[in-house]
């Protein structure tokens, strides 16, 4: 297959079978629950919190780290640097909703492809899996005043790659096709969620809920990626957590706010990027009512409601805790 060949939908899903046997159980929520075990080294490529557009420059996690005064480290998560305990004197350097989940920056993808091509013995023969949730119909908004354009769903394969986390449509094509998924999926900035070469020398995984992309391969490949200043990557280990991890002052704050809502029916927080108000509206019709939250930031506000329909106290605590956490994380788009 020539390097310019288009992507071709494939029903030969057996080509992905090697991955299934090398994945950790989903409930373990570690790196190898997302990307296969057995490689020499791993890295995670951080999705930028702001993409370049018009007057707005590209913003990296390291820029936000400098702003907040919170050091970067191998296990750093977005909320650690984006929601500091004390309010910085300078304006926050990003104006978006934070790093896009499940979709790396296209320019970063090109850098990855460059490094992968240098060590791949089968660059003309690669496999790309796209989560089927990204293959549905879509709406494209045109100029102001015009009705949105309805975009039909692309064709689905007759067979899917079935892995513990997700089901995927599979495509075949050259490595250069990694940045050519706009015609396959209508999801904004969509890329393949899981891709690898025929020789299995590396693998790339962009799980739809994560703000980074995992890369697995040889020590040499990962060292090249970590050293390349055109992207932002951190070393990862197979058993690192792939889940949201909250600790320190923020964990204490969310736990304390949960107790306050359960005791008093409401709570209000003033944080470095805005305010959060939580109200528990009890109702006999819904057994325990509704949790209403409002998050107010410099550029607007967001509200949500969580129905509480349980008489089990431990379940009630979990529901309220989840509502508080979600409201706080709305401040940083996490």
> DSSP assignment of 136-172, as one string?
S-EEE--STTSPPEEEPPPPPPSS-EE-SS-EEEEEE
Euclidean distance between CA atoms 147 and 85, whole angstroms: 44
CB of 323 closer than 8 Å to CB of 329: no
CB of 12 closer than 8 Å to CB of 222: no
Nearest to 108 by CA among 47, 59, 62: 47
pLDDT by residue for the chain (334 residues), tens digit each? Answer: 334 447 888 999 999 999 999 999 999 999 999 999 999 999 999 999 999 988 899 999 999 999 999 999 999 999 999 999 999 999 999 987 789 999 899 999 999 999 999 999 988 899 999 998 877 665 566 666 677 766 666 667 779 999 998 999 999 999 998 987 766 665 656 789 999 999 999 999 999 999 999 999 999 999 999 999 999 999 999 999 999 899 999 999 999 999 999 999 999 999 988 999 999 887 765 456 889 999 998 778 888 888 888 878 898 899 999 999 999 998 887 6
Model-level pTM? 0.89
CB of 208 closer than 8 Å to CB of 42: no
Collect all residues with Cβ–Cβ distance below 8 Å to 205 and sequence separation of at least 6: 34, 35, 193, 194, 213, 214, 216
The torsion region of residue 326 among left (phi > 0), alpha (psi -120 to 50) and beta comes to alpha
At residue 266, the 3 state secondary structure works out as strand
> DSSP assignment of 207-223, as one string?
-TT-SEEEEEE-HHHHH
Place of tokens 């079978």: 17
- 207-229 burial, b at 16+ Cβ within 10 Å, e below that, comes to beebbbbbbbbeeebbebbbebe
């Amino acid at each position: 297959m020539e390097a310019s060949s288009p992507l071709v939908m494939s029903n030969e899903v057996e080509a992905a079978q090697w991955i299934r046997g090398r994945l950790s159980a989903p409930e373990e929520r570690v790196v190898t629950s997302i990307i296969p075990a057995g490689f020499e080294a791993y890295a995670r490529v951080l999705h930028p919190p702001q993409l370049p557009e018009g007057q707005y420059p590209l913003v990296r996690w390291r820029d936000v780290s400098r702003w907040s005064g919170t050091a970067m480290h191998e296990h750093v998560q977005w909320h650690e640097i984006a929601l500091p305990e004390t309010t910085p004197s300078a304006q926050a350097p990003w104006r978006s909703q934070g790093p896009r989940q499940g979709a790396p920056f296209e320019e970063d993808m090109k850098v990855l492809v460059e490094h992968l091509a240098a060590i791949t013995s089968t660059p003309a023969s690669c496999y790309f899996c796209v989560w089927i949730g990204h293959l549905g119909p879509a709406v494209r908004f045109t100029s102001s005043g015009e009705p949105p354009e309805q975009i039909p769903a692309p064709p689905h394969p007759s067979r899917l790659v079935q892995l513990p986390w997700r089901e995927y449509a599979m495509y075949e094509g050259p490595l250069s096709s990694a940045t050519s998924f706009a015609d396959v999926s209508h999801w904004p900035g969509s890329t393949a969620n899981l891709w690898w070469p025929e020789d299995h020398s590396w693998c790339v995984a962009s799980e739809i809920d994560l703000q980074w992309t995992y890369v697995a391969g040889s020590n040499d490949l990962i060292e090249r990626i970590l050293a390349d200043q055109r992207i932002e990557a951190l070393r990862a280990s197979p058993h690192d957590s792939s889940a949201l991890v909250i600790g320190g002052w923020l964990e204490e704050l969310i736990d304390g706010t949960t107790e306050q809502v359960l005791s008093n029916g409401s709570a209000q927080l003033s944080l470095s990027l805005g305010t959060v108000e939580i109200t528990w509206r009890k109702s006999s019709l819904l057994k325990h009512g509704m949790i209403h939250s409002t998050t107010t930031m410099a550029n607007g506000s967001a509200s949500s409601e969580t129905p509480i329909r349980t008489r089990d106290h431990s379940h009630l605590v979990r529901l309220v805790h989840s509502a508080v956490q979600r409201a706080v994380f709305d401040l940083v788009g996490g």
